[in-house]
A and B are shown apart, each in its own frame.
Chain A
Amino acid sequence: MRRAVAKILTILTSTLLGGCANPQFADLGASVLSATGYVDESQVKGFLAAGSKAIKSQEELTPEQEYYLGRAVSARVLAKYPPVLKPALTRYVNTIGRVVSGVSDLPETFGGYHFAVIESDEMNALSAPGGFVFISRGLLRRLKDEDSVAAVLAHEVAHIVHRDGVSAIANSNLFGALTDAPLQAAAIGMNNSSIPVDLAPLTELFSTSVTDLTERLLVTGYDRSQEYKADEYAVELLRRAGYRSDSVARVLEIVQSSAATEHGGWFDTHPAAKKRIEELGHGDSISTDCPERAARFAAFVR
């Protein structure tokens, strides 16, 4: 019987979400469902109200959904590039990351920011929705100071703030397909998890989204305009945090100087460093080198 209730709810909500939101129909549906004895009329009406809202609120993922998407993308990234789990280095990189993400327009994500060094000799850094940021050991090794580390992390934080990862899958049917989700959550709540919920369509959508985004991060890269905007925003974050704001350009010079001899990583997924420097300019920097920052960079990275 409970399965039947769930099916009726599915049909009702699907119909409503499909564009047949008629108040009379909703009232009729509420009466029919409440007659089953499993739910009362107010529950059904509240439920349908939530369902109709889903149409409006699916224009973007919630922070919670971004977090789970980011976790799965990170699980794929880390399968290819395992994390370097050295406590002191991890803490150092995360503290720098917290400094730059804290001055961003998205200082808090659902699950918080997480920064990790990954095993790879390529010069690479990438980020996943929800606050996951990765910098390769190869890139870290080539950086000259803490401000440059901050510049790389700030660029990746910029992608998260701009939600570039989610936009990589925004052209699919992501938001439309997610409209079934409130139904599933509500069904679980009303019946103490006793209604079996078929997660297959949602899982398939999730899988497709993870694949799209992972490929974007590891193979094709973001659009050039997204990269230029991330560079520009990274400069702003460095300025706000007190780091040398010309550090983005200094990092790009390092990348450019290696372009003739190296490939993979950033060289495949990002516009040419020379072009990025042209777009960005060097700018000036009000911050100067700091002995303490130089000392701790030497201690943790060198």
Chain B
Amino acid sequence: MRNVVIAATLSIGAILGDAQAEPVWVQVRESVVRSAPKYYAAGVLPVRYGEKVERLSESAGGAYVKVRNIQGYLPLSAVSLDRIVLQARELGQMSADTSDVILAGKGFNKEVEKAYKSTDPEARFDLVDKVEQASKVSSTEVAQFRKAGDLP
């Protein structure tokens, strides 16, 4: 009987939780769902640009989300309420009254950068690429660095 009550309570909780859930989309190239609403918390699941996640709740520290049956936190700035459509042809599958849409790659994008390069040969995109490549630091390294440097 006790198990039935627990199961029923969990089910009601899940239903209520889902009732408040709202779809949001990852708006950064890559992010990680974390175990706590802190950027330095342990990562539990990587997510990618345009991926749909369910926002269960929100706090100053981040959005509590569910994705692929995993729950955890993403920074508020990493998700968008607007649906991000990676392939424009998906527009054809959307209902006519769909209005909250961001098209990935709209506006300033890779194609515009490519066109711009031809107009500004002095711009050093090769150096930007090098800077991007050289600046990769893993979360583990940051954690060790903070610990060694007595940073909380």
Q: How far is the CA of A57 from the CA of B94 in the complex (A)?
A: 18
Query: Cβ of A45: which chain B residues have Cβ within 8 Å of it?
Result: 95-96
Interface stretch among A185-193, A228-236, A268-276?
Answer: A185-193
Query: Cβ of B137: which chain A residues have Cβ within 8 Å of it?
Result: 91, 94-95, 98
* A283 close to chain B: CB less than 8 A: no
Task: Pick from B28, B141, B151 the residue with the most CB of A within 10 Å.
Answer: B151
Q: How far is the CA of A65 from the CA of B105 in the complex (A)?
A: 8
Query: Cβ of B116: which chain A residues have Cβ within 8 Å of it?
Result: 72, 203, 206-207, 210
* B102 close to chain A: CB less than 8 A: yes
A46 touches B95 (CB 8 A): yes
B105 touches A64 (CB 8 A): yes
Closest chain-A Cβ to B80's Cβ sits at a distance in Å of 8
Closest chain-A Cβ to B147's Cβ sits at a distance in Å of 9
**Contacts A57-B82, A83-B127, A115-B135 given: A64-B104 contact, CB under 8 Å?**
yes
B113 touches A72 (CB 8 A): yes
Interface stretch among B5-13, B14-22, B117-125?
Answer: B117-125
Q: How far is the CA of A114 from the CA of B134 in the complex (A)?
A: 9
Closest chain-A Cβ to B62's Cβ sits at a distance in Å of 9
Query: Cβ of A111: which chain B residues have Cβ within 8 Å of it?
Result: 28-29, 132
A46 touches B96 (CB 8 A): yes
Query: Cβ of A190: which chain B residues have Cβ within 8 Å of it?
Result: 88-89, 91-92
How many chain B residues touch the partner (CB < 8 A)? 66
Interface 1/0s, chain B 57-79, versus A by CB < 8 A?
Answer: 00000000000000000010110
Query: Cβ of A105: which chain B residues have Cβ within 8 Å of it?
Result: 77
A185 touches B40 (CB 8 A): no
Q: Of B39, B49, B128, B136, which one neighbours A75 at CB under 8 angstroms?
A: B128
* A87 close to chain B: CB less than 8 A: yes
B103 touches A50 (CB 8 A): yes
* A184 close to chain B: CB less than 8 A: yes
Closest chain-B Cβ to A166's Cβ sits at a distance in Å of 11
Q: Of B94, B97, B106, which one neighbours A182 at CB under 8 angstroms?
A: B106
List which A198-227 residues lie within 8 A (CB) of chain B: 199-200, 202-203, 206-207, 209-210
A49 touches B97 (CB 8 A): yes
A203 touches B91 (CB 8 A): no
Q: How far is the CA of A93 from the CA of B132 in the complex (A)?
A: 13
Q: A68-B110, A108-B77, A199-B112 are in contact. List 18 more A-B contacts (CB 8 A).
A: A43-B92, A49-B98, A69-B108, A79-B124, A94-B134, A94-B135, A95-B137, A99-B145, A114-B135, A115-B135, A178-B108, A185-B103, A189-B87, A202-B115, A203-B119, A207-B116, A241-B151, A242-B146
Cross-chain pairs A/B with CB under 8 angstroms, 19 sampled? A40-B92, A43-B92, A68-B112, A83-B130, A99-B145, A109-B28, A113-B135, A114-B135, A132-B131, A178-B108, A182-B106, A190-B91, A200-B115, A202-B115, A203-B112, A207-B116, A207-B120, A242-B152, A296-B148
7 cross-chain pairs, A with B, having the tightest CB-CB distances, nearest first? A189-B88, A43-B92, A45-B96, A75-B123, A181-B107, A242-B151, A46-B91
